[in-house]
Amino acid sequence: MKVGIQVPATMANLGCGFDCLGLALPIYNTIIVEETVLPGSGIEINIIDEKNPDSVLNIPTDKNNIVYKAIELLYSYIGQVPDELKITIKTQIPVARGLGSSASVVVGGLMAANTLLRNPADEAVLLSIATEIEGHPDNITPAIKGGVTLSSWEDDGSVVYRKLPWYDDWKVTVCIPDYELATEISRSVLPKEVALKDAAFNLRRSAMFVEALHTHDSELLKLAMRDRLHQPYRKKLVPGLVAIMDNLRHTNGVLGCFLSGAGPAIGVVSCGANINEVKDIVANTWRDMNVNTQFYSLPLDNEGAKRIL
């Protein structure tokens, strides 16, 4: 039996919603898991990136691979151990850019294994296991459910989430620099404690964000997509971030901009903006720093992960 799961890229935090807000984009990784018929054939892992094959050279192809680890956890949930499997990972989501590449393959591996095992785990279990692997649900939930999601990882290990509305006139532009930033490094610069006024600032903005989405309020969204919990500390890891955000926030039609996940990609939400002007601001700033930029202007993926094989 062979199962293929397609999983979207995700952008997390969205400014104000550290570790709880995320959205899904129509850029995909595909995980194919096949039960092999030859006893003793073991685990075979192949990773394919047709556009940028060098980007996957350092990804493990043994049992240290994150997809295998996800599959192993799902099997252990029913008291089994994965034995003879062929795993193929087809990547389109850029690695280490803050676009949920690891979340996508974790979700794909879990869902493929669950299908092979005749679906012993329900959605709640899959969310819980995937979040345990990732350490936070902000990428996991939109990868599974699509759209924009608000998620909380509870003390009992469960994930509580709600999908939030989005609107066709709110456009998302993804700005991806040509260098990687490991999540571990980006998290290491965050403080263990923050000032109460900064925590309160983000609480207010997160509430505004949810209200703006429920009421289609573009002006409120402008106020909401601000942050004092993570972006101020990560700016030193993303040269040009402050200049780009300052310029974008004064650009007609731009509703907000944010560091996507751990970075270094930047997301821009706009309504009626000149997208070429948005791209020029980002590209010119980074070009002065010898950084090239790839852009996507995309609708959201509202389906989330799905079986395609």
Angle at 50 between CA 49 and CA 55, to 5 degrees: 40
pLDDT of residue 211: 99
Residues of the chain with pLDDT under 50: none
Q: What is the number of domains present in the chain?
A: 2
pLDDT of residue 40: 66
How is 176-236 classified by DSSP, letter by letter?
EESS---HHHHHHTS-SS--HHHHHHHHHHHHHHHHHHHHT-HHHHHHHS--SSSHHHHGG
Tell whether 138 and 197 lie within a shared domain. Answer: no
Tell whether 14 and 146 lie within a shared domain. Answer: yes
pLDDT of residue 32: 98
Tell whether 16 and 43 lie within a shared domain. Answer: yes
Residues tagged in the binding site annotation for ATP:
94-104
Tell whether 30 and 87 lie within a shared domain. Answer: yes
CB 292 within 8 A of CB 178: yes
CATH code, domain with 188: 3.30.70.890
Tell whether 28 and 130 lie within a shared domain. Answer: yes
pLDDT of residue 258: 98
CB 241 within 8 A of CB 266: yes
Which H or E element spans position 103?
A: helix 101-116
β-bridge partners, 151: 161
pLDDT of residue 36: 83
pLDDT of residue 54: 78
Tell whether 243 and 120 lie within a shared domain. Answer: no
pLDDT of residue 203: 98
What gap in Å lies between CA 255 and CA 170, rounded to an integer?
Answer: 8
Tell whether 18 and 88 lie within a shared domain. Answer: yes
Side-chain half-sphere of 230: how many Cα atoms within 13 Å? Answer: 22
Kindly list the distances between the CA atom of residue 47 and the CA atoms of 31, 105, 159, 230, in Å, as whole numbers in the listed order: 9, 11, 30, 32
Which H or E element spans position 102?
A: helix 101-116
Tell whether 135 and 209 lie within a shared domain. Answer: no
Q: What is the pTM of this model?
A: 0.95
CATH code, domain with 69: 3.30.230.10
pLDDT of residue 58: 84
Residues tagged in the binding site annotation:
94-104
pLDDT of residue 21: 99
The range of the structural domain enclosing residue 30 comes to 2-164+300-307
pLDDT of residue 153: 97
Tell whether 18 and 70 lie within a shared domain. Answer: yes
Which H or E element spans position 34?
A: strand 21-35
Tell whether 153 and 294 lie within a shared domain. Answer: no
Tell whether 140 and 176 lie within a shared domain. Answer: no
What gap in Å lies between CA 263 and CA 242, rounded to an integer?
Answer: 13
Tell whether 175 and 148 lie within a shared domain. Answer: no
